[in-house]
Amino acid sequence: METTLVSVGSIVPDFEMETYEPSHGDFGKVSLADIKKAGKWAVLVFYPADFTFVCPTELADLADQQEKLAALGAHVVAVSTDTKFAHMVWRNTEGLMKNVKYTLAADTTGAVSRLFGVYDSGTGLALRGTFIINPEGKLVSSEVNFYNVGRDAGELVRKMEANVHLMANPSEACPAKWTPGAKTLKPGKDIVGNVASVVNG
């Protein structure tokens, strides 16, 4: 059966995956339906594989930001096509993973990776994709890197801050490098061709 890819601005179909939950050292399940029911944002961080090289550096960086993301209402889920058992052993043996407390999900069939367009059928692995889904189930942010370029979790936090602000203030827009407290834009005829006066004024 062919998978329809989800795109930014569209509603993400519900999905479910088995997990290893480092926060309580046990297995579980995660579903988008449950995350939405809890009023949370879903942050999906796909990575190629456990026991690799760039991946633990990314997940450690993400762990450094997990409290900020949680405070913004995000349920963080790191996803690869490994099993939940591999997740458990990797998290508990790799030194860089010691502070990881967020959900590690097992997309063993690649179904969820395919949904977001990050599944590499040649390797059976997922590319480095980061996706933000708002509490209404809409995909509001998408970033995909190839295998050899790691991501910056600080930028993920900035994107979450902007999206949380915009959900509460839908008439506004956030300019480049926006951070909380900075000026936003209010699109309209008065600033057409005159954005500089708003951002620099």
163-185 tens-digit pLDDT: 999 999 999 999 999 999 999 99
* Percent of the chain's residues with pLDDT above 70: 99
Q: What is the mean pLDDT of residues 69-75?
A: 98
Q: What is the mean pLDDT of residues 118-125?
A: 97
Neighbours of 176 (CB within 10 A): 5
Give me the sign of the Cα torsion angle 173, 180, 165, 23: positive
Q: What confidence score (pLDDT) does residue 3 get? A: 62
CA distance 43 to 11: 14
16-152: CATH class: alpha beta
Q: What is the mean pLDDT of residues 14-37?
A: 98
174 is catalytic: no
- Choose the catalytic residue: 17, 32, 42, 55: 55
pLDDT above 50: residue 1: no
C-alpha to C-alpha distances, 72 to 10, 34, 98, 117, 171, nearest whole angstrom: 22, 17, 23, 26, 20
4 pLDDT band, cuts 50/70/90, is confident
Where are the domains positioned within the chain? Answer: 16-152
- 3-class SS of residue 42: strand
Adjacency order of strands within the sheet including 16-21? 26-31, 16-21, 103-106, 74-80, 41-46, 128-133, 139-145
Q: What confidence score (pLDDT) does residue 154 get? A: 98
Q: What confidence score (pLDDT) does residue 75 get? A: 98
Q: What confidence score (pLDDT) does residue 41 get? A: 98
The dihedrals phi and psi of 87, each to the nearest 5 degrees, come to -55, -45
201 pLDDT band, cuts 50/70/90, is confident
Q: What confidence score (pLDDT) does residue 81 get? A: 98
